[in-house]
Each structure stands twice: as C-alpha cells, then as structure tokens.
Amino acid sequence: MIIVLKGEIKKDSQELRQLEGVAARYPDLKLSIHNVKGAMQSIGEVYVFGPTLQVPTQPFEELPFVQKVVRVSSKYRMIGSHDGQVDAVGFEYNGLKFHQDSFHVFAGLCAVDTKEHVELMMKALKNVGLNTTRMGAYKPRTSPYEFQGHGKDCLPYVFELAGKYDIKAIAMEVTHESQIGEIHEALAAAGNPTGVIIQIGTRNAQNFELLKHVGKQTEYPVLFKRGMGITLEESLNACEYIASNGNPNIIFCLRGMKTNLGDPHRNLVDFAHVPVVKRLTRLPVCIDPSHSVGKKVVAPDGLLDIQHAAAQGIIAGAN
C-alpha cells in the first residue's frame, strides 16, 4: 500500500505522527517515507509494509494532507510503476538530471591503470562536451591473478582530474561497503570537485548485504548492473533491496547475459528489456554495449553492433 500525499513529508512531522496513529490500529504495519520530485511539484509517498490486504484505505484517505491511497500488487513496491503514483520522475545529482527521458554517456576506463590514461580520457570527454565518465578503481576479476585496480590509492588523482576537466559524475564500482567510506574521504580531501555514482557490478548483483549498505547511504546515487546469470525479475528485486533501505536514486543497467547463445557476441545482448524495465519501474535505464557485445564489429549498415541500441544512458569501458 502506498499513501500519496499532497506535499512533502518530514520524519518528525505532525503528518507522519497522524499516519502512524492510523497504522497503529492494525497489527504489524510499518511505514517508510519518501519524497518524490514530480514534473510540477514534490510530493511525499508513504509505503505501508505488512499485512495490508485487510487494511481499509479510508482511514488514511480521510486525513486532509492525503491525496490518495494506492494498493500495490507488483513485487516491486518501491521501484515499481503503480497506477495512481507520480509518473517516472528520476532524480537530480550534482546538476545532472537522470530520468526516463534523459541521456548520458559514461565513457571511461574499465580499470584505472595510470594517471596519464585518466587524464587522456577526461580531456577527450571534455573536448566532445561530455561531463560523465566511468572509472574502475576497485575491479572484481574472474581470475585472482588479473589486475584488480589500484583501489583508494588512485582516488586522489581521479577526482582531481575530474574537477580539472569539468566531469560532474563518475560511475565507480564498489565491491565492499568500506570502499564507500574511502570514496567519501577522498572526495572531501580533494574539495569535492566532482560527484560519484556508486556502481554495483554484475558479480555483486545479489550480494544482499552490500545492497543494503549502498541503500542506507543516500549521498550517492547507484548504478546497478543486471546480474549476468539471473533473471530480470531477480535483478529488479535486487534494486528493491537498495530502495527499501532508503536510497531510491537508482539507474538500472542492462549489460548482457552470460550464455553461449549470444555468440559471437561476448554476452547475449538484452537491450530489448529497455522498454520492459521502463514499463515495470520508474527507474532510468542504462545500457552497457562494451561488456554485452564485447567486439568492435561492423554491421551491414556500417554501424558498429554496439550502436544498435538506445536507452537513457550508455556506460562503456575503454580498456
């Protein structure tokens, strides 16, 4: 059940106390509040968890600040698109807007190797007018003997160069919750010259404890890469872990599925799910052509295979 309010709501507000008073009449109900920025105004949405099937909507609807009450049948309570809610609204971060009609290109280094390469990449991005990138400081690898990134040691020069070349947001994968703190400290030490979007890689798509930690912090948005060996439903439920812990600012990334049925591409390209995710959720959708296609091959029309796709954003690794 979702209670849609006429305006925003605060945690210590009289409105919340009144809602809690109504909820207390029924056993085992829990409320979670979220403020959503719509096209014309910002409103509050209060999610009611628990055995709501037998709970009447009228006691909530009678409160003067309540606009409507929506019963939810979808599994995706927090990220889902439900009748009666505000349309897909997205979020704003560091001056950039992310929603189902925006478009951003996160071209960058899959793994940060040298300061010189970081500067070459960011200078190239500025020259073509891009202000978003990806930089892999922490890299999970299939083999323990492969390069796994410089970790926190490269963060100072990555953030310094991002500020120099007017990069507003860096998608950066984390593999452990402690790395969020390292990113935060390095950003602060550099004077916050840029922003970071925390990336959950495909190998951690069902690392539920990491998803909970990422959800509990709200300073950084999250770019979630679909699990390469799990269903779309399982991946969306993983995003629900993030949102239900407090962070609704999520970009959903389609990056291909691990199967030989996708040969000769590296993965089975799943970009046909772009409209599906947009229909089922209110999340911006991103695609990763470099990991899904994995090859610089040209189609008969002269375009690269990776260019036959469109969504709200593209994230691609250069090395």
Find the radius of gyration of the CA atoms of the chain.
21
Number of domains in the chain: 2
Single out the residue of 206, 309, 211 nearest to residue 254, CA to CA. 309
82 in a structural domain: no
The band of 297, judged by pLDDT with boundaries at 50, 70 and 90, is low
81 in a structural domain: no
DSSP codes of every residue in 277-308: HHHHBS--EEE-HHHHT-S--B-TTSSBGGGS
Q: Tell me what the mean pLDDT of segment 123-143 comes to.
A: 93
Indicate whether 141 pLDDT > 70: yes
Note the helical H segments in the chain: 14-23, 58-61, 115-127, 155-164, 178-189, 208-216, 232-244, 274-280, 289-292
Alpha-carbon gap, residue 219 to 198, rounded angstroms: 10
Indicate whether 283 pLDDT > 80: yes
The band of 318, judged by pLDDT with boundaries at 50, 70 and 90, is low
The band of 140, judged by pLDDT with boundaries at 50, 70 and 90, is confident
Please say which residue of 41, 70, 99 terminates a domain: 70
Token code pair at residue 139: 């890299």
Task: Supply the DSSP symbol for 312.
Answer: S
Predicted confidence at residue 15, as pLDDT, reads 94
Q: Tell me what the mean pLDDT of segment 28-35 comes to.
A: 89
The band of 313, judged by pLDDT with boundaries at 50, 70 and 90, is low
- How long is the chain? 319
Judgement on whether residues 25 and 149 belong to the same structural domain of the protein: no
The band of 53, judged by pLDDT with boundaries at 50, 70 and 90, is confident
Alpha-carbon gap, residue 82 to 97, rounded angstroms: 22
Alpha-carbon gap, residue 241 to 264, rounded angstroms: 34
Q: Tell me what the mean pLDDT of segment 225-254 comes to.
A: 92
173 in a structural domain: yes
Residue type, 86: V
Q: Tell me what the mean pLDDT of segment 107-113 comes to.
A: 93
Judgement on whether residues 63 and 102 belong to the same structural domain of the protein: no
Q: Which residue segment(s) compose the domain that 298 sits in?
A: 91-317
| pLDDT tens by residue, 256-277 | 877 776 677 777 777 788 888 8
Say which residue, 235 or 302, is predicted with more confidence: 235
Q: 137: left (phi > 0), else alpha (psi -120 to 50), else beta? A: alpha
Q: Tell me what the mean pLDDT of segment 183-212 comes to.
A: 96
78 in a structural domain: no
Those residues whose C-beta lies under 8 Å from the C-beta of residue 115, and which sit 6 or more positions away, are: 154, 157, 161
| Residue tagged 């690392």 (tokens) | 207
80 in a structural domain: no
The band of 142, judged by pLDDT with boundaries at 50, 70 and 90, is confident
CA distances from 156 to 164, 192, 293 (A): 12, 11, 32
The band of 314, judged by pLDDT with boundaries at 50, 70 and 90, is low
> Residue 97: helix, strand or coil by DSSP?
strand
Predicted confidence at residue 145, as pLDDT, reads 86
Judgement on whether residues 96 and 50 belong to the same structural domain of the protein: no
29 in a structural domain: yes
Judgement on whether residues 65 and 170 belong to the same structural domain of the protein: no
Judgement on whether residues 14 and 151 belong to the same structural domain of the protein: no
Q: Tell me what the mean pLDDT of segment 75-83 comes to.
A: 78
Residue 23 belongs to domain with CATH number: 3.30.70.1140
Indicate whether 310 pLDDT > 90: no
Q: Contact, 286 vs 313, CB < 8 A?
A: yes
Indicate whether 87 pLDDT > 70: no
Judgement on whether residues 177 and 272 belong to the same structural domain of the protein: yes
Those residues whose C-beta lies under 8 Å from the C-beta of residue 32, and which sit 6 or more positions away, are: 46, 47, 49, 244
Judgement on whether residues 190 and 313 belong to the same structural domain of the protein: yes
Judgement on whether residues 104 and 183 belong to the same structural domain of the protein: yes
| pLDDT tens by residue, 1-30 | 889 898 899 988 999 999 999 999 999 999
22 in a structural domain: yes
What is the pLDDT of the chain when averaged over all its residues?
Answer: 87
Predicted confidence at residue 260, as pLDDT, reads 73
Token code pair at residue 10: 């605060």
pTM above 0.85, yes or no: no
Judgement on whether residues 160 and 12 belong to the same structural domain of the protein: no
Predicted confidence at residue 293, as pLDDT, reads 66
Q: 268: left (phi > 0), else alpha (psi -120 to 50), else beta? A: beta
Q: Angle 209-215-216 (CA atoms, 0-180°, nearest 5)? A: 95
Indicate whether 319 pLDDT > 60: no
Say which residue, 166 or 79, is predicted with more confidence: 166
143 in a structural domain: yes
Indicate whether 315 pLDDT > 70: no
Residue 132 belongs to domain with CATH number: 3.20.20.70
Judgement on whether residues 159 and 271 belong to the same structural domain of the protein: yes
Predicted confidence at residue 154, as pLDDT, reads 97
